[in-house]
A and B are shown apart, each in its own frame.
Chain A
């Protein structure tokens, strides 16, 4: 592999690196000017994370079966955790049947 080919192999990585940093700067500037919007902040964080997982961790280049074995189940567990945390919080106050 010559120097040009090596450089080409990293071009997409450099672009993703700049985009992730640009999103981080936008997050900070937006939060400073308009106040932090939780949903927007989370959405941008998910965008950064998906870019990093796909391009830095090369999940995109692995077999799709690896992606489907890992990501949907992780998101499902995190989603369910979010749903049942509220109940555990009620347990903390001994109001398990409170509405």
Chain B
């Protein structure tokens, strides 16, 4: 067993095996991701039940919105690739390259947010509010804005974290481990979007 797989018990000073052989900070990120997945699961289930219980549920998304959602998917999945390139560069101790790709990921996150805000502004312009809309079930706006808003808040939080961790990493105070742990969060944001697109956009496509 390598030294990296051991942790010192702060009370006894005895070296013991790390749980799951990963750093505790990485385990904490995994636990956060799991709890966040349940949070998103809860609001998506709630949306599903409200949608099924409403016979006049609106289906307002025209093909332009659907292509916009596909473009957002492309940007977010590409940002997952760029953060992986950053992690790889950090593991190879190429700090300049790792920082550059971390910032590319942050820019892609901002592009995703801009496209999302454009979608919001378009819907608000059509008269959609949290508890009213011109088409039918009034809760459509509440569910749409809460699901996509929570996701967008995660993206914005991720962008701030990418910039902060990237800058600290470049200054030499963080290591590859920090970029890798942040990348887990960023991939999780991507995974959530994979469920939002079919459930929120494709299921509510105008036909």
The answer to whether B38 and A53 have CB atoms under 8 Å apart is: no
* CB closest chain-B residue, reference A20: B77
Chain B interface residue number, banded: 35 or more
What range describes how many residues of A lie at the interface?
A: 35 or more
B interface majority secondary structure: helix
**Residues of B that sit less than 8 Å from A by CB:** 20-22, 30, 34, 37-38, 41-42, 45-46, 49, 53, 63, 66-67, 69-70, 73-74, 77-78, 80-81, 84-85, 88, 92, 183-184, 187-188, 190-191, 194-195, 197-199, 202-203, 205, 207
For the complex formed, measure the closest distance between the CB of A76 and the CB atoms of chain B, giving whole angstroms. 11
Q: How far is the CB of B142 from chain A (nearest CB, A)?
A: 14
Total contacts A-B at CB 8 Å: 115
Contacts of B191 in A (CB 8 A): 48-49, 52-53
Given that A31-B202, A89-B49 are known contacts, is A49 also in contact with B194, CB under 8 Å in the complex? Answer: yes
Interface: A78 (CB within 8 A): yes
Q: How far is the CA of A69 from the CA of B21 in the complex (A)?
A: 13
Complex contacts, A70 vs chain B, CB 8 Å:
30, 34
